[in-house]
């Protein structure tokens, strides 16, 4: 079958590989749509970050070259031995977390904090940029009948955003800022609406993405290339309760801190390619908190329930649909050169 495989920085190849076969406890899925994630782009431009290169990942038992793609959905075509709670023909979204189940975090149920954390399509395994994928049955979530397959490909990134907002201190009526209106930032805006934020101020240089943030419910949008974003947020709010960092740009982190009120919180959602610094006194003197968040846990059912209510709409977020064979030129390179894109979906080959 055809698959898009990571070989190195700026070296993703669409090539023929063996069609995977499910083992005991596994499920085989005919992939429908797979989103290109910011993490995929990081691996393309500056990897390896999650991709194992020199040694096999301890849970996937795989290393580069690996089949990419972790934001995906499809239809169950085959059940491995012992899988009884799914059926051939089920439409499913994949929760692509590798977790050991035995480390202290896993034993507390916080499997996204696993000591050996990995992701299908980043840390090995049978990723979604292919015709078929095989994953453990525990990674598979049956989709509600009312959701389209395109919505299924958005469950994973929406889960990142919803988990970040649920992890934050935001309360109904609080004010928030979101720095970065890429796909995850926009999904954070929607998640903040779900949580009852009274004001959501979005900082984003792309005019198209700023407009999309307004469409999705942002109170205001700020172009940081033409104005002092922190001053504007503080003027409007006196400082927000929570600021979400969703850019991965080092100079933005101290801006997020400065945009919060006393006892404010910064949620760092980005995956970083390089170090970032801030003056600790900006945290100390106002008793602010800086917290990280990775992926999600136990949130897929909630995401899909919200989707049935109209949140996280593919119609609003998907800006391009491409074939797997065009994934480099029309996908990765387009995301590098055209900052107007929100979410690009890749259609799996037959």
CB 147 within 8 Å of CB 219:
no
Beta strands 26-35 and 343-347: pairing type? antiparallel
Give the pLDDT of residue 173.
98
* 29/49 Cα distance (integer angstroms): 27
Question: How many whole angstroms from its chain centre is CA 138?
Answer: 19
70, 41 contact by CB (below 8 A): no
List Cα–Cα distances, 78 to 94, 121, 224, 322, in angstroms: 15, 20, 50, 26
Could you say which DSSP state residue 326 is in?
G
Position 237 scores a pLDDT of: 98
**Cα–Cα–Cα angle for 298, 162, 151, nearest 5°?**
90
Please, are residues 255 and 229 in contact by the beta-carbon 8 Å criterion?
A: yes
Q: Is 24 left (phi over 0), alpha (psi -120 to 50) or beta?
A: beta
Global pTM value: 0.97
Q: What DSSP designation does 82 have? A: T
Supply the pLDDT for residue 340: 80
Q: State the DSSP code for 228.
A: -
Are the CB atoms for 17 and 3 separated by under 8 Å? yes
pLDDT of 112 reads 98
Sort 246 into a burial class: Cβ within 10 Å, 0-12 / 13-18 / 19+. Answer: buried
Tally of residues, the chain: 350
Distances (CA, A) of 213 to 49, 183, 208, 238, 269: 29, 10, 9, 22, 17
* Spatial separation of the C-alpha atoms in residues 100 and 115, rounded to whole Å: 8
Q: How many angstroms separate the Cα of 344 from the Cα of each of 40, 277, 284? A: 12, 32, 41
Average pLDDT of each block of 10 consecutive residues along the chain (350 residues)? 97 97 98 96 93 97 98 98 97 98 98 98 98 98 96 98 98 98 97 98 96 97 98 98 97 98 98 94 98 98 98 95 98 90 94
346 φ, ψ to 5°? -110, 125
**Cβ neighbours of residue 259 closer than 8 Å, sequence gap 6 or more:** 177, 179, 229, 230, 233, 234, 239, 240, 243
């Amino acid at each position: 079958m055809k698959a898009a495989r990571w070989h190195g920085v700026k070296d993703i190849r669409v090539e023929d590989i063996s069609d995977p076969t499910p083992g005991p406890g596994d499920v085989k899925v005919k992939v429908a749509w797979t989103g290109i994630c910011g993490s995929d782009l990081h691996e393309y431009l500056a990897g390896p970050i999650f991709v194992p290169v020199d040694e096999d990942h301890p849970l996937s038992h795989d290393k580069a070259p690996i089949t990419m793609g972790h934001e995906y959905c499809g239809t169950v075509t085959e059940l491995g031995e012992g899988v009884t709670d799914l059926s051939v023909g089920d439409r499913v979204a994949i929760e692509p977390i590798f977790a050991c189940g035995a480390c202290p975090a896993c034993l507390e149920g916080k499997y996204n904090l696993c000591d050996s954390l990995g992701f299908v399509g980043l840390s090995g395994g049978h990723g979604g940029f292919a015709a078929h994928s095989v994953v453990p049955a525990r990674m598979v979530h049956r989709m509600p009948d009312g959701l389209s397959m395109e919505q299924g490909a958005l469950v994973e990134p929406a889960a990142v955003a919803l988990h970040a907002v649920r992890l934050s201190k935001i309360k109904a009526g609080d004010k928030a800022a979101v720095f970065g209106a890429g796909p995850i930032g926009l999904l954070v805006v929607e998640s903040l609406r779900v949580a009852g934020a009274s004001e959501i101020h979005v900082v984003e240089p792309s005019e198209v993405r700023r407009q999309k943030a307004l469409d999705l419910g942002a109170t205001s949008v700020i172009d940081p290339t033409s104005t002092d974003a922190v001053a504007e947020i503080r003027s409007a709010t006196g400082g927000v309760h929570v600021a979400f960092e969703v850019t991965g740009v080092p100079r933005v982190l101290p801006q997020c801190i400065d945009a919060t009120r006393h006892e404010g919180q910064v949620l760092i959602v980005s995956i970083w390619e390089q170090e970032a610094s801030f003056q600790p006194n900006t945290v100390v003197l106002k008793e602010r908190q800086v917290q990280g968040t990775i992926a999600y846990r136990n949130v897929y059912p909630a995401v899909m329930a919200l989707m049935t209510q109209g949140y996280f709409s593919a119609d609003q977020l998907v800006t391009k649909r491409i074939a797997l064979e065009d994934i480099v030129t029309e996908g990765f390179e387009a995301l590098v050169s055209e900052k107007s894109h929100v979410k690009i979906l890749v259609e799996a080959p037959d």
